Amino acid sequence: MFFYEVDNEIQLKLVTQQDAEEIFAFVDRSRDYLREWLGWVDNTKTVEDSRKFAEYNLERFAKREGLDTAIYYKGQFVGKISINTINWSLKKCEIGYFLDENFQGEGIMTRAAKGMIDIAFHEYKLEKVEIRAAEGNKKSRHIAERLGFMLEGTNRNAEWLYDHYVDHAVYGLLADEWIGEYK
């Protein structure tokens, strides 16, 4: 099982089928909040949907195609951060994340993202990490900026969110730019 200690307050744990009930309960009570920027929320209707998604991600982890982790803050589940895709021929990945709105402003996601970036560069030996966030999603964009990512451009109509398209701001960070700190 994969487990990564970010610091004395934050741990990243590989999501398994055993986590499905806790994750589904979080998604179910946070639907309105999550729907603003995440297009998959309405497809998560039951605990079984969360269990199947965990199984799918475990298969991807075993094939070294992704890494889906739960974020624990002081022992409590507060969100997820994942390496959503890995392109081994280009030695790059894309990370994505979401955090319980009640835990924002504590630096949790910035620290969790720092941990995931360390994993990408030091354990997977990748050369580039990307973060894509809807242009209007200022909180996600600020995390990328705080961690030293460069805005590389805009991907127009990148995602359909229920009733409208959103453009994605595309951020990149190269291994030799990563100093393991944030602003």
Question: Residue 10 has what pLDDT?
Answer: 97
Spatial separation of the C-alpha atoms in residues 20 and 31, rounded to whole Å: 16
Q: Would you state the pLDDT for residue 181? A: 60
Encode the chain (183 residues) as per-residue pLDDT tens digits: 789 999 999 999 999 989 999 999 999 998 888 888 887 888 889 999 999 999 999 999 999 999 999 999 999 999 999 999 999 999 999 999 999 999 999 999 999 999 999 999 999 999 999 999 999 999 999 999 999 999 999 999 998 988 999 999 999 999 999 976 655
Nearest-CA neighbor of 111 among 152, 139, 81, 149? 81
Query: CB of 170 within 8 A of CB of 130?
Result: yes
Return the closest-CA partner of residue 39 out of 84, 103, 1, 106: 84
Q: Which helix (H) or strand (E) holds 129?
A: strand 128-134
In the chain the domains, ranked by start, together with CATH numbers, are: 3-177 (3.40.630.30)
What is residue 101's three-state secondary structure? helix
Q: Which two tokens stand for residue 17?
A: 């089928």
